[in-house]
Amino acid sequence: MARLRAAQNSIAPAVTRVVVDLEAGVSGYTVGVTGAAPSWTINLTVIPAGSVVAVETEARLIEEATLEPHTLPGEEPPPKEALVFAASPTPVRESPAENARRVSEGLAGERIEAVAELGGWRLVILTEQDGLAGWVPSDSLTTEGKVERDDGSVRAVPNPRTPPPGTPQTPQPDRAPLRAEASEGSAIIAHLPAVTSFRAYRRREGWYFIRLEDGRAGWVAARYVELETAGPGEAWRQAVVATAEGYLGSPYVWGGTSSSGFDCSGLVWRVYKQNGMEIPRTAGPQYREGRRLTRGELLPGDLVFFSTYSTGPSHVGIYAGDDRFIQADSSDGVRYSDLDGVYWRDHIFGYSRWTP
């Protein structure tokens, strides 16, 4: 008999997290739960070694759990399918119900680990999101390779009223067309004369999304563009801010990680991920595991944290320079805000830095 450690967790009040500590290749076990509530058993078909699984119970407090095998010794577990989200965005919820609170979301092609199934729902571990766990409809998953991966690229048009801090760019030939979409056949917004400086936000298959000083925005073919260079650290910081700028105007969605809707830490996580940096998914670890800074040390691309609805770092934004930061605001969506604004200056918690 192998013993398990069991503890209450935040996935849902009626879900008990069981930490499995067994050798690889374990399958077909019955979980017997004993403790403060009457005993019951729940069958799991596969328990991955070293993973975190959850079982649906009526318990509120579990003191002990045990595993008892009911398969033949040496039985090989069935091969595990490489599962991914089938569409973007797919809400991930605290419990197996459509009206349950969102904990995050997945994008098409994002890999997950499915650890339990209940009534048409799967409990999944978001292996690409710092191991967050939650429930998704079973039909929202598919096998890897069947869908094109969504990298969360920008869909929102930047706010033309906000001055961009990105790297200046220059089109070379005379009269380069600025187009509404990233295609040769799309409508022309303007013709740009040679040596026109502008800011580039995103590159997509031979096109740059840019914004001019007069606020007009659109796409320019890469063949017209020569990038002005910057040092490695500075270039990365500029890219982080420029990526965040590209999401200005996106709505706020609790648990969101894409331009369909962001929460504060989801915006930071997505922007950093698109610039090659893997960081924790939620604000607390984003602060605690980064390098602590003073305000005087802040550089564009650093993270600013606030104590808002709870004690500690409960809100986060991306510092953009000039005492401004980009954040996913619960009222206004992704926007610029001032560190010295009446509300934010009174709720600053701290600052942290992540570097490539």
Please say whether the beta carbons of 345 and 339 come within 8 A: yes
Q: What is the pLDDT of residue 203?
A: 64
Q: Are residues 99 and 123 in the same domain?
A: yes
Q: What is the pLDDT of residue 115?
A: 84
Residue 21 CB coordination number (10 Å): 12
Average pLDDT over residues 23-52: 38
**pLDDT at residue 70 is higher than 60:** no
Model confidence, pTM: 0.54
Q: Which of 69, 94, 109 is the last residue of a domain?
A: 69
Q: Which of 229, 255, 278 is the last residue of a domain?
A: 229
Number of independent structural domains in the chain: 4
Q: Structural domain of residue 271, as residue ranges? A: 244-353
Q: Are residues 23 and 120 in the same domain?
A: no
Q: Are residues 198 and 222 in the same domain?
A: yes
Q: Please provide residue 243's backbone torsions phi and psi, each rounded to the nearest 5 degrees.
A: -65, -45
Q: Are residues 187 and 285 in the same domain?
A: no
Residue 61 belongs to some domain of the structure: yes
Q: What is the pLDDT of residue 145?
A: 80
Which of 11-25, 29-43, 112-126, 183-197 has the highest average model confidence (pLDDT)?
112-126
Q: What is the pLDDT of residue 79?
A: 54
Question: What is the Cα Rg of the chain in Å?
Answer: 24
Residues 131-145 pLDDT 10s: 888 999 999 999 888
Q: Are residues 53 and 12 in the same domain?
A: yes
Residue 13, amino acid? P
261's tokens: 């809707």
Residue 74 belongs to some domain of the structure: no
Unique residue bearing structure tokens 């010295």: 340
**pLDDT at residue 324 is higher than 70:** yes
Strand partners of residue 85: 141
Average pLDDT over residues 263-279: 92
Residue 327 belongs to some domain of the structure: yes
**pLDDT at residue 14 is higher than 50:** no
Q: Which of 13, 47, 69 is the last residue of a domain?
A: 69
Q: What is the pLDDT of residue 200?
A: 63
* Contacts by 304-309, CB closer than 8 A, 24 or more apart: 304/339, 304/348, 304/351, 305/348, 305/349, 305/350, 305/351, 305/352, 306/344, 306/347, 306/348, 306/349, 307/347, 307/349, 308/347
Average pLDDT over residues 103-109: 87
The CATH number for 102's domain is 2.30.30.40
Q: Are residues 264 and 340 in the same domain?
A: yes
pLDDT band with cut points at 50, 70 and 90 for residue 319: very high
Q: Are residues 264 and 335 in the same domain?
A: yes
Q: Which residues contact 185 (CB under 8 A, 6 or more apart)?
A: none
Average pLDDT over residues 112-133: 87
Conformation bin of residue 285: beta by default, left when phi > 0, alpha when psi is -120 to 50: alpha
**pLDDT at residue 105 is higher than 80:** yes
Conformation bin of residue 86: beta by default, left when phi > 0, alpha when psi is -120 to 50: alpha
**Mean predicted lDDT score pLDDT of the chain:** 73
Q: What is the pLDDT of residue 172?
A: 41
Q: Are residues 344 and 307 in the same domain?
A: yes
Residue 33 belongs to some domain of the structure: yes
Q: Are residues 264 and 309 in the same domain?
A: yes
Residue 235 belongs to some domain of the structure: no
Residue 185 belongs to some domain of the structure: yes
Distance CA 178, CA 192 (A): 7
Residue 154 belongs to some domain of the structure: no
Q: What is the pLDDT of residue 54?
A: 42
Which of 89-93, 208-212, 231-235 has the highest average model confidence (pLDDT)?
89-93
Average pLDDT over residues 274-297: 91
Q: Are residues 183 and 211 in the same domain?
A: yes
Q: Are residues 320 and 275 in the same domain?
A: yes
**pLDDT at residue 181 is higher than 90:** no
Distance CA 167, CA 211 (A): 11
Q: Are residues 268 and 312 in the same domain?
A: yes
Coil, helix or strand at residue 321: strand
Residue 234 belongs to some domain of the structure: no
pLDDT band with cut points at 50, 70 and 90 for residue 287: very high
Torsion sign, CA atoms 46, 47, 53, 59: positive
